[in-house]
Amino acid sequence: MVKDIENTDEIYNDTSLHEEKKNLILDFMSDKEYRPMKFKELCYILQVKEEDKSIFTEVIDELLNEYKIVRTNKGRYMLQSPDVMVGEYIGNKRGFGFVKVPDMEEDFFVHESKSMNAFNGDKVLIKTDNKKSGPRKEAEVIKIIDHSIKTVVGTFQRNESFGFVIPDNKKIADDIFIKYKFSMGAVTGHKVVCQILNYGSKDKSPEGRVIEIIGHINDPGSDIMSVVRAYDIPVDYPEQVMEALNDIPDEVDPDESSKRRDFRNLDTVTIDGEDAKDLDDAITLSYENGIYTLGVHIADVSHYVKEKSPLDREALKRGTSVYLIDKVIPMLPHKLSNGICSLNAGTDRLTLSCVMKIDKSGKVIDHEICEGVIRVDERMTYTDVAAIIDGESDAPYERYKKLVPMFMLMKELSDIIREARHKRGSIDFDFAETKIILDKNHKPVEISEYDRNSASKIIEDFMLMANETVAEDYFWQEIPFEYRTHDTPDDDKIEILSHFMKNFGLYFKVSRDKIHPMEVQKLLAKIEGQPYEQMISKMTLRSMKQARYSTECTGHFGLACKYYCHFTSPIRRYPDLQIHRIIKENLHGEMDEKRIKHYRRILPKVAEDNSVKERRAEDAERDVVKLKQIEYMSEHIGEEFDGVISGVTYRNVFVELENTVEGAVNIASLTDDYYDYDEAKYAIIGERTGKTYALGDRVRVRVTACDKIEKRIDFEFV
């Protein structure tokens, strides 16, 4: 579960004065000459005026509550011991756990006996164990500061006079005990939301009460809503947000259009999936004298969603739209996302446009970022555009005769841009994404590999180019900005990956200083078309760091570029909306010292929260896909499928089918021989027969069981 911004004032309130005073106190106490002092002594030494003492008291209290300083029994203040830290407890079904401390790469391992029965998600105070030697740092929990998880989503199991909730979150070690009077009449198999009343102890289960019955585990759509509730994703908009929509127009104001760069005379198209309704990017393109003029026109959402307005606060709270197969939980209400902000064909729409001059080598030689007004000629689909540029016989050439030359020019420029990006080392993880088709009852009827066609790659190339261009522009202007960064992988993870590759006869250059993305690119090229391609690609991706939002422009390793941001999707991502606001203020000459100071203060918190909300959406989307895969495969018990071994552990051999579904063969179920796990070969080997099951092997399996509660698909080898 992600802790939402309970109140956006946490970001918008001016707490910079407190932060300055905190840093002053911490710096003072960090001095080698410092000796613990009482409050009056601190006020005297730091020259705190009488009228400022109340604020100084608040600052001291905040530092105490953050456990950055401590007060001794004699009322003196000093820095917290360096081996005492605050972090988040990450539970495990087997009892032990880990503690993640902010700004530290490695988590601390916590034995069950040293966890103080901490609950997953708890904010805890730990004392590190410096005496322990080994590959992982260890700690013990010395205080539970706060229980961040207040509710749990799970499956109800009724006994005669009581019940249990089996949590969907497998990091919660214990089932939740429910007294009969607190069950709301739930029966076995109901998906419920449970409020935690007591977090339990070593000898006693946590207790709770059912506060919502989502539906039965087999009811259509209840699994998706269970995921939504589990991640605490807001669905309904508050009343004040809906009231704010009354001030949003249905059509563009002509007076506003007259103040902007007019692109309405240019051939303009949107290219999206068939089902897309929030169309936030449009393309114009021309070619003259060896120069391509590419216009990437993005919906000007910030014109309608003003900073600190109810719409803005709700968008910040949500962070991103969430796409759950056939259900979308939008960041913005439909009147904006599908209406005035959507670049619908045949209507005037306001944009923030990035117009780039690109030469034959794919280099941007000039650009302009401006407020624009456009009128889209055609709402195109990836399918139709791909058919046209790929020369398919049944492509709709006649219908789009006027635009066909532009589509061919798009393909030409896209190839140039992609080749230029490839030459500098950009990594393209071309994974087989899962496409799931549901019927009207939310039941999966087909699962297959998603087709990433030539038209979708064109749009991807153009959006990447705009994102890079905008980021570089604002980096050199030295204006506070929100970048999209992807740091260089850790050396130890790359070493592990390099060792793993040697089992397949694969080698890639690893520098002691820094790995270059081009080496990863070469590796992916070597494995293209091999049976283990998907598996090694995933292993390589896992060795990378997560991309995130940041106020520091530290570059993007995966794209092999120095400057990158998210500019092209303000309807569905808050970071894009945030930088649109900054760009527009700058264009209007409003970026004075006061606004610069404002953005320097809020952007670190905004970027951090945007990163958290992005991960929440990704986790929710992944969980829903897994549940629908389980539901689909439960209709195929006993059937056989071809697949590739995608993972091997001491307990299981994981197999990915051609339709992207992954399940596991339990090694204990193999009765033809006794199998040992060979860690060096990432394989299991029969002790008597020598039979081997190794990563990348093609196998045939039979589906034996599917369990939605345990989120498991079981196979056996045929």
pLDDT tier, 675 (very low <50, low <70, confident <90, very high otherwise): very high
Rounded to the nearest 10 degrees, how much is the dihedral formed by the CA atoms of 541, 545, 546, 548? -140
- Look up residue 101 and give its DSSP letter: P
519 near 640, Cβ under 8 Å? Answer: no
Q: What's residue 542's pLDDT? A: 82
Q: What's residue 414's pLDDT? A: 97
Left (φ > 0), alpha (ψ -120 to 50) or beta: where does 195 sit?
beta
pLDDT of residue 4 exceeding 70, the answer is no
> Which residues on neighbouring strands pair with residue 296, listed in sequence order?
283, 354
Burial class (CB in 10 A: 0-12, 13-18, 19+), 494: buried
Q: Map tokens 């011991």 to a residue.
A: 81
Q: What's residue 37's pLDDT? A: 94
Q: What's residue 426's pLDDT? A: 92
Burial class (CB in 10 A: 0-12, 13-18, 19+), 496: middle
Average pLDDT taken over every residue of the chain: 91
Q: How many CB atoms are closer than 10 A to CB 623?
A: 21
Q: Distance between CA 682 and CA 502 in Å, rounded?
A: 11
Task: Identify which of 171, 183, 175 has the alpha carbon closest to the alpha carbon of residue 211.
Answer: 183
Q: What is the pTM of this model?
A: 0.88
pLDDT of residue 383 exceeding 70, the answer is yes
User: Higher-confidence residue: 323 or 530?
Assistant: 323
Q: What's residue 1's pLDDT? A: 45
- For residue 237, the Cα-to-chain-centroid distance in whole angstroms is 22
User: Higher-confidence residue: 532 or 238?
Assistant: 238
Q: Distance between CA 652 and CA 650 in Å, rounded?
A: 6
pLDDT tens across 26-68, in order? 999 999 899 999 999 999 999 999 988 998 999 999 899 889 9
pLDDT tens across 654-669, in order? 999 999 999 999 999 9
Across 2-11, 152-161, 442-451, 483-492, least confident range: 2-11
Domains of the chain: 9-79 (1.10.10), 84-146 (2.40.50.140), 151-217 (2.40.50.700), 239-486+551-624 (no CATH), 491-544 (no CATH), 637-717 (2.40.50.140)
